[in-house]
A = this chain, B = another copy of it.
């Protein structure tokens, strides 16, 4: 295996993806705006703050239970309250691309007083998860592999812009917001622990998980904590506002199953620790290797 070969693992969202970015891409651009490695850039345009983000979608199959590549890419812009303002299409010969890939870029104004970043988690923060985990990855996998179940798992694909508006309206001081997509909740929490230099403790019994997803994961040997989600978010909030923000999320149509799954500790910086259902302690590392390729 040559060192200069791109492997599927480089697309996992886990350790290899991070090495690709930090070792290969970042040194080339050497740009302080890139260094926070947040989901999007924050730009100052004549004193106004603008967020700018981009994402590419290569999911296979392009139609899956509960959604399609177009839903993931927010082509369902009407539902999200987002306007499509410009675009490009390219066509390549048969065989040069697997059906269709979609790339989206978005810009938005950042409200005054809002400062959300993966670097802003603080000891004591409560960690809120907006719903059940693993639905998307399991839906895509079972569809791709042609597995059929009595109660098929549907993807959780959903626009979260209105949920975030609700959250910010009750608490402008949300510390961290992340979508646990590639690499799942486990990888997202590790990134935040690393960037904020804090420790994270979560409770297995508090993490919402559908029985069907749990069952399929057990059957196939997957750990749901690393399975991709599409319509979920993780929020880190000062304990004084946690219940208020949780209530705001639960009011949203996509946040009914939201709950507090853990908190930030000042010890064990960079580590994510899970108290298991039987009371044990397990270290949740960043995803290593490719669990489920092409889920978004």
Q: A residues engaging B (CB < 8 A)?
A: 6-11, 17, 20-21, 25, 29, 31, 33-34, 40-41, 43, 45-46, 48, 50, 52-58, 60, 77, 83-93, 95-98, 101, 103, 105, 107, 109, 293-294, 296
Contacts and interface: CB of A to CB of B under 8 A. Distances in A.
A50 B56 contact: no
Contacts of A55: 88
Given A54-B88, A87-B25, A103-B54, A45 B109 contact: yes
Contacts of A31: 83-85
Nearest to A296: B90
Contacts of A293: 91-93
A88 B56 contact: yes
Given A33-B86, A103-B103, 12 more contacts: A6-B91, A8-B92, A11-B89, A20-B89, A31-B85, A33-B83, A34-B84, A34-B87, A41-B85, A57-B90, A60-B92, A91-B293
A43 B46 CA distance: 15
A127 B91 CA distance: 30
Contact of A43 (B85, B89, B296): B85
Nearest to A55: B88
A9 B21 CA distance: 36
A8 B89 contact: no
Contacts of A105: 52, 54, 105
A86 B56 CA distance: 12
Among all A-B residue pairs, the 3 with the closest Cβ atoms: A11-B91, A105-B105, A41-B85
A92 B87 CA distance: 23
20 contacts: A8-B93, A25-B89, A29-B84, A31-B84, A34-B86, A46-B48, A46-B109, A48-B48, A52-B85, A52-B86, A54-B87, A58-B90, A60-B96, A90-B101, A92-B293, A93-B294, A95-B98, A96-B98, A96-B294, A103-B103
B86 A54 contact: yes
A296 B29 CA distance: 23
Nearest to A83: B31
